[in-house]
Amino acid sequence: MSDYSRVHDFSVKDALATGNPSKQIVGSEVDDELDAIVTAILSKYDNTDAPLDTLVTLGDPAADGEFLVATGAGALAWETGATARTSIGLGTGDDVTFTGLTATGEVTYSGVISPTQITASVNDYAPTGIAAAATIRVDADAAGWNITGLSASQAEGREITIENDGTVAFNLTDEDALSTAANRFALPNSLDVAVEPESSVTLKYDGTATRWRIKGAAGSGGGAKDAGGNTIGFNHDQATAGNYTLVATENMVTAGTFTITSGDTVTIASGARWVIV
């Protein structure tokens, strides 16, 4: 590398008398100085800097949303869509895996589907759109229909919420052999769960057990089944494990001996009835 050095000293021309031909600055002298400047600049430019050359060759992005991605040793490209997702390791599918993801603020789930009304019990339930669904709004035409399993491209930790969008209850049945093993529900206390109108159940897939489980705490009540799968009674606990309020719009039946644990309170609102038989 070299610094710029003047070729001509133009200041000496100031002392020359007017009319002296040497007092003039001619074009060749200017060219000499410009050539010297260019030589100095080029000697300092690292023309082996391939990324800069590549950027100059690549030019500006063609559209909004393009990413500049290294596509190989010394190679760059503007990419978008599935091509860019593949290059940065996200893949082109709908499922993206993050390690230690922290979400701040409200989290909103998309993918709500409203399948056609169920008019009978359903095995290996797989309505159209379930692969990308976070919520299934189920409507049954009559009370008592069963959903015995859910076929939804099972993956460890996947969550699906089933909402009752109708006017009658339907059931999720526990370990029901009518559905494929990997699609079945493993429900609390091995009891079926009734999904009442205007309510919902969120399920989470256990990849180790290959079963859908209810996410979070669930009550212990439900139908007791015999070896043939018939419901022969309804189970409940024999003591409280916390406070409970029976609201005015509901009644409750408890069978047999029942204990209100010391320190717990059961509140019965005006208009509600609690019957112990």
Are 197 and 141 found together in one domain?
yes
Assign 219 a pLDDT band (cuts: 50, 70, 90): very low
Assign 218 a pLDDT band (cuts: 50, 70, 90): very low
Q: Is the per-residue pLDDT at 220 higher than 50?
A: no
- Lowest-confidence pick of 14-23, 192-201, 233-242: 233-242
pLDDT in tens, 96-150: 667 777 878 777 777 899 999 999 999 999 999 998 899 999 999 998 899 999 9
pLDDT in tens, 43-86: 776 655 556 667 777 778 878 888 888 877 777 888 888 888 88
Structure tokens at 239: 């003591």
The answer to whether residue 93 is domain-embedded is: no
Are 148 and 212 found together in one domain?
yes
The residue ranking higher by pLDDT, 230 or 7, is 7
Q: Is the per-residue pLDDT at 163 higher than 70?
A: yes
3-state DSSP of the chain: CCCCCCCCCHHHHHHCCCCCHHHCCCHHHHHHHHHHHHHHHHHHCCCCCHHHHHHHHHCCCCCCCCEEEEEECCEEEEECHHHHHHHCCCCCCCCCCCCCCCCCCCCCCCCEECCCCECCCECCECCCCHHHCCEEEECECCCCCEECEECCCCCCCCEEEEEECCCCCEEECECCCCCCHHHEECCHHHCCEEECCCCEEEEEEECCCCEEEECCCCCCCEEEECCCCCEEEEECCCECCCCEEECCCCEEEECCCCECCCCCCEEECCCCEEEEC
As a whole number, mean pLDDT of residues 171-186 equals 95
pLDDT, residue 177, reads 95
Are 131 and 226 found together in one domain?
yes
- Lowest-confidence pick of 3-12, 168-177, 238-247: 238-247
pLDDT in tens, 13-53: 888 888 888 888 888 989 998 998 888 887 776 655 556 66
Are 124 and 221 found together in one domain?
yes
Are 125 and 218 found together in one domain?
yes
The answer to whether residue 239 is domain-embedded is: no
Are 117 and 65 found together in one domain?
no
Q: How many domains does the structure of the chain reveal?
A: 4
The residue ranking higher by pLDDT, 220 or 106, is 106
The answer to whether residue 157 is domain-embedded is: yes
pLDDT in tens, 84-109: 888 877 777 666 667 777 878 777 77
Cross-strand bridge partners of residue 174: 185
Are 263 and 195 found together in one domain?
no
pLDDT, residue 215, reads 87
Select, from the ranges 11-15, 80-84, 158-162, 251-255, the one with the highest average predicted confidence (pLDDT).
158-162
The answer to whether residue 99 is domain-embedded is: no
Amino acid at 147: I
Are 183 and 214 found together in one domain?
yes
Chain mean pLDDT for the chain: 84
The answer to whether residue 97 is domain-embedded is: no
The answer to whether residue 100 is domain-embedded is: no
Are 117 and 195 found together in one domain?
yes
pLDDT, residue 26, reads 87
Q: Exposed, middle or buried: residue 187 (CB in 10 Å: 0-12, 13-18, 19+)?
A: buried
pLDDT, residue 6, reads 86
pLDDT, residue 113, reads 95
Are 31 and 70 found together in one domain?
no
Are 199 and 142 found together in one domain?
yes
Give the range of the structural domain holding residue 25, as residue numbers without chain letter: 10-44
Cβ-proximal residues to 5 (8 Å cutoff; 6+ apart), any chain: 36, 40
The answer to whether residue 163 is domain-embedded is: yes
Are 62 and 138 found together in one domain?
no
pLDDT in tens, 260-273: 999 888 888 888 88
Q: Is the per-residue pLDDT at 207 higher than 60?
A: yes
Q: Is the per-residue pLDDT at 201 higher than 90?
A: yes
The answer to whether residue 4 is domain-embedded is: no
